[in-house]
Amino acid sequence: MPYKDSSSRAGPTRAVSSQLRFIKTLLKFGRSRLGLDFAGSFEKIDTSAETANWLYVSPAFRIESVVRWRSRPMKFKFSWDRRQLKRSEAAYRGRGFDTYLFSAEGHGGGRCPITPALLASSPARRGYVVIHEGWHSTLAKERVSIPYPLEEATGRVIGCFAIIEFARERGDCELLAEAVNQEKDWAAFAAFVNRWHRRLAKLYLGGARNMAKRKAELLRKAAANAARLRKKMKTAWEQKELEANLNNAFFLRYHNYTCHYGTAARVARGAGDLRKASDLFKKLQSEEDPVRALKKLARSSPKTA
């Protein structure tokens, strides 16, 4: 399908044309090698919104979402309008909640346009986003239902590992190095999130006195840890996220992506083939306890260097 700019009659520049060819090749790779269904996403440019945006809100002394829509609990609030979410964020903060406003280059709900942020991202990041969001739309199309943290963790694995494989097949050494660093830095980011989420959750469950003071001390230590980790990283996106204001809402968002990442990554490496790993992940929906089943798969997976 030819790419179109839905917000301008002007043709794309040479640089944008190159980026569009990259995305088109990625989509072909995702469909043929991984069996992904992108549900109409990443087929046309739309400059009306720079990014897709999510607002996460958590109580001060618990790590859980307080977002509601028509009385239904929601994991987050989504909008293409970042200013609208900023107003919501200010209202939540005024009521004493922790908030985290996250913006990204696209979403996995199908028919996601090519955003300016996606075109501006690094090749490895762009490749990850396209494949990761394709994983979400594929599961939705195939009516595969697994717990949300599993969907995000396996989507992270599929996205990070696929762009490495894509670079290898193209013989693109620069992209390969960037993609390998991206996965390595994400694994370190995941370990960071899991460590400090666990410590905060333990604090809140313990019902300690001076909870606000203890929380502030713990978050200061986490911020110092983040600063040290950031210096060791080579990937701009992970470095930027570690500069965020650390609070319960930050850990609420990322723990869904990180809590099963290491386990899912081990399964993918053991499978030796990303398409095979994708099929293993999808089959988790038939298990009574999908998380336990994933851990069993990881234990039985051959160890790799």
Per-residue model confidence (pLDDT) at position 2 = 44
Rounded to whole angstroms, the Cα distance separating 102 from 87 reads 14
Instruction: Give the rounded percent of residues in the chain with a pLDDT score beyond 70.
Output: 96
pLDDT tier at 1, thresholds 50, 70, 90: very low
Element (H, E) at 295: helix 290-300
pLDDT digits (tens, 9 = 90+) for 211-240: 999 999 999 999 999 999 999 999 999 999
Q: Please determine, for residue 161, whether its predicted confidence score (pLDDT) is greater than 70.
A: yes
Per-residue model confidence as pLDDT tens digits over 102-156: 999 999 999 999 999 999 999 999 999 999 999 999 999 999 999 999 999 999 9
Q: Shortest CA distance to 134 belongs to which of 234, 278, 230? A: 278
Kindly indicate the confidence band of residue 11, based on its pLDDT and cuts at 50, 70 and 90: low
Give the integer Cα–Cα distance in Å for 91 and 69.
16
Q: What is the DSSP letter of 11?
A: P
Partners of 89 in the beta sheet?
none
Query: What is the domain partition of the chain in residue ranges?
Result: 183-305
pLDDT of residue 142: 98
pTM: 0.94
Neighbours of 8 (CB within 10 A): 11
Average pLDDT on 246-250 reads 98
